[in-house]
Amino acid sequence: MSVVVIGLGNVLLSDEGLGVRAVELLEQRYILPESVEVIDGGTSAMDLLNPLSNNDHVIIADSVKTGAAPCTLVRLADEQVPKFFQTKISPHQIGLSDLLALLTVQGQAPKKITIIGMVPESFATHIGLTEGVSAKMDEMVELLVDELRSLGIAVKPRQDGAQGFWAEAEQ
């Protein structure tokens, strides 16, 4: 089974970069098998054309606006994913929805997509997450781990699992 975990977002806009920070923490804290590729997707969805092609499962970590309170964690899967793209709840979502449409036309779309997201507190120009989002990052990483384990993927904690560069730099 081929699985890709992609963190999306702009780390220069505070909580908009939470997806990127989540996958960084995932890699720093856990040992993942070679069948799992982790990608910092940034904000340029079209650069993800080849990495997304022909995968069994794609897990996207991203900031999402759902109308829920800031810092609320969200899991979207199956029929919820197309609805996600219709409601435009992530700032860079348009590029990603176009990319997935292109992959579908080419017959190379992922078989399954799951979105693990969090409602942001701020998109202010600032390097680093807000206090509320930072406090929920451990829980978001655990949702990513749970998703991988639900696919039968062995995820093992690292003995030297760090808090992550950005979290440590802010202390």
Contact between 36 and 44 under an 8 Å Cβ cutoff? The reply is no
The predicted structure's pLDDT at residue 133? 98
| Residue 38: strand pairing partners | 5
The pTM of the full predicted model, rounded to 2 decimals, is 0.87
116: Cα within 13 Å, side-chain hemisphere: 28
Binding annotation:
16, 62, 92
pLDDT tens, the chain, 171 aa long: 899 999 999 999 999 999 999 999 999 999 999 999 999 988 776 677 787 888 899 999 999 888 899 999 999 998 787 777 665 555 555 567 777 888 889 998 888 999 999 999 999 999 999 999 999 999 999 999 999 999 999 999 998 766 555 545 554
Q: At the topology level of CATH, where does 3-157 sit?
A: Rossmann fold (3.40.50)
Contact between 81 and 40 under an 8 Å Cβ cutoff? The reply is no
CB atoms within 10 A of CB 12: 12
**Residue 55 CA: distances (Å) to CA of 16, 63, 76, 116, 158:** 26, 23, 18, 18, 26
17: Cα within 13 Å, side-chain hemisphere: 20
Both tokens of residue 58? 């794609």
The predicted structure's pLDDT at residue 164? 53
Binding annotation for Ni(2+):
16, 62, 92
